[in-house]
A = this chain, B = another copy of it.
């Protein structure tokens, strides 16, 4: 699973910490997801999709 988090964040000029606050997770969680250390849980993926107003499929990519 790859994801477009870093780009979406850059488009809005948000820091990892700012995004983490909006998502109510730790900065390390955002960092770990961006750097591909692990995938978010489904509920967190939904929160991310809601925040960016995009379908999950346009943020997270199979494979």
List residues of chain A with CB under 8 Å of any chain B CB. Answer: 1, 39-43, 45-46, 49-50, 55-57, 60, 62
CB distance from A26 to the nearest CB of B (A): 18
In the complex, which residue of chain B has the Cβ closest to the Cβ of A33? B42
Number of copies: 2
Q: Are A1 and B62 in contact (CB under 8 A)?
A: no
A60 contact set on B, CB distance < 8 A: 42, 46
**Other-chain residue from B1, B39, B41, B57 in contact with A55 (beta carbon distance below 8 A):** B57
A57 contact set on B, CB distance < 8 A: 49, 55-56
A43 contact set on B, CB distance < 8 A: 1, 39
**Other-chain residue from B1, B46, B49, B50 in contact with A46 (beta carbon distance below 8 A):** B1
